[in-house]
Amino acid sequence: MTDPAPLPPLAGLKIIDFSTLLPGPLASLILAEAGATVVKIERPEGEDLRRYPGAFNGDSAAFVLLNRLKTSLCIDLKHMDAFARLQPYLETADVLIEQFRPGVMERLGFGWGRLRALNPRLIYCSITGYGSKSPRRDVAGHDLNYAALTGVLDGGRGGDGVPALPPVLAADIAGGAYPAVMNILLTLRQRDATGAGCHLDIAMADNMFTFAYGGLADGFATGHWPRPGAELLSGGSPRYQIYPTADGRFLAAAPIEDRFWVIFCDAIGLPAAERDDSADPGRVIARVKSIIAAETTDTWRARFAGRDVCVEIVATMEEAARDPAFARLFTHNIVADGRSLPALPVPVAPSLRQPNPAAGYARLGNADIGNLWQRESDHD
């Protein structure tokens, strides 16, 4: 007789998620993938992300990916009986996630002070742009604004001197969702010892400074603050560059260390006399760029094949998703009405994820108010 498979580590954890769009829903998705039961609180018509372009089963595919393994409870939080309807579940919840501007949950009657008195073990996680104690607490913002204010955006200027739009929502994900998960898990460990919950005040803008560790180190220690397009990792070195090829593709070249730089220069045929980038890196950048631009992507792919050199072709999203190195990440699915959509890969070890590789998502109003903690898989 074989032993039963172990339960995922967060099995039995009960989460009420008031958040919308990306940061909070991604945080609760990660926790759900590790076994937590998540109930998404939505206004009667559903949250805005449901109506974004790219439909799957009548909802936005982006919404579906972020709300796998959850149920949806529709309730007007401004209605006089909203608190009474949710009170039995607020009393037993382990975690609450919310993403309103500071003060909104208090005005709705769901503030931390009231809920702490109701449920002292509750971990109440607020995700906002600037945090409840910031002078900017009431300022509206999105990912781009947080990157701009924290100096991160300034380091990514193009050749025309204009900052480039970031290709990822770093503030939402790495500044909001990931710190929320991290701090919720740390607080769960703390609660094991103290029995008490707490209020987590996650400020997405504040967490962007972690990305700037190198510039902050130099700036504070030496007074040399990063210059856009002039530092090693921001375009000032030939050893960390994106080079166009003859057929409109790009090489992402990062042969930073000398041993990689030598192999790279040998592969592209850069003469030894032109490899010293210490005095005039701009000259070397221009020379390498002209060499790379003279040949096609296939030529360079073959030239670098088998070489330990830190160079890759810039892939499209479709190419990346179908690459055998990454296709293995798309083993879980979202299923609804006979249709299937690959689930979003999350940074949870496979051995710690939910055992059900095919599961539904938070379809509008599919939670049972009579048994709010019933697992999503029981509904479909």
Is 8 part of any domain? no
358 and 264, same structural domain?
Answer: no
**Same domain for 149 and 81:** yes
- Go through 71-99 and write b for each residue having 16 or more CB atoms within 10 A of its CB, e for each that does not: bbbbbebeeeebbeebeebbeebbbbbbb
- Which of 284, 313, 342 marks a domain boundary? 313
**Residue 4: what pLDDT?**
67
The C-alpha angle with vertex 185 and arms to 192 and 215, in degrees rounded to 5, equals 135
- Taking each helix axis as running N to C, give the angle between helix 297-304 and helix 258-268, from 0 to 180 degrees, rounded to the nearest 10: 130
Q: What's the whole-model pTM score?
A: 0.93
Whether 334 and 307 map to the same domain: the answer is no
Judged against a pLDDT cut of 50, whether residue 256 lies above it is answered with: yes
Residue 365, Ramachandran bin (φ over 0: left; ψ between -120 and 50: alpha; else beta):
left
Angle at 109 between CA 133 and CA 370, to 5 degrees: 130
- 110 and 30 share one domain: yes
Residue span of the structural domain in which 61 resides: 14-209+328-378
Residues 308 and 332 in one domain: no
Read off the CATH number of the domain in which 70 is found.
Answer: 3.40.50.10540
Q: Which H, E and C letters describe 170-221, residue by residue?
A: HHHHHHHHHHHHHHHHHHHHHHHHHCCCEEEEEEHHHHHHHHHHHHHHHHHH
Say how many Å lie between the first and final Cα of the chain, rounded. 31
pLDDT over 60 (residue 48) = yes
Collapsing DSSP to helix, strand or coil, 55 comes out as strand
Q: What is the mean pLDDT of the chain?
A: 93
DSSP secondary structure of 253-294: E---SHHHHHHHHHHHT--GGG---SS-HHHHHHHHHHHHTT
pLDDT at 147 over 90: yes
Please check the confidence at residue 379 and state whether its pLDDT lies above 50.
no
Is residue 224 in a domain?
no
**How many domains does the chain divide into?**
2
The Cα–Cα gap between 221 and 232 comes to 18
Alpha-carbon gap, residue 345 to 332, rounded angstroms:
8
Q: What is the dihedral of CA 92, 95, 96, 98, to 10 degrees?
A: -170
Q: List the catalytic residues.
A: 142, 172
Q: Are 264 and 240 in contact (CB under 8 A)?
A: no
Residue 163 is classified by DSSP as B
- In degrees and rounded to multiples of 5, residue 253 shows phi and psi of -110, 125
- CB-based contacts of 117: which residues, under 8 Å, 6+ apart? none
Residue 367: pLDDT band (50, 70, 90) is: confident
Q: Are residues 155 and 84 in the same domain?
A: yes
Backbone angles phi, psi at 340, to 5 degrees: -140, 145
Contacts of 184-192 with C-beta under 8 Å, sequence gap 24+, read 184/27, 184/31, 184/95, 184/123, 184/125, 187/123, 188/13, 188/94, 188/123, 191/121, 191/123
1 pLDDT band (50/70/90 cuts)?
low
pLDDT digits (tens, 9 = 90+) for 116-138: 999 999 999 999 999 999 999 99
Q: Is residue 242 in a domain?
A: no
User: Cα(156)–Cα(210) distance, rounded to whole angstroms?
Assistant: 16
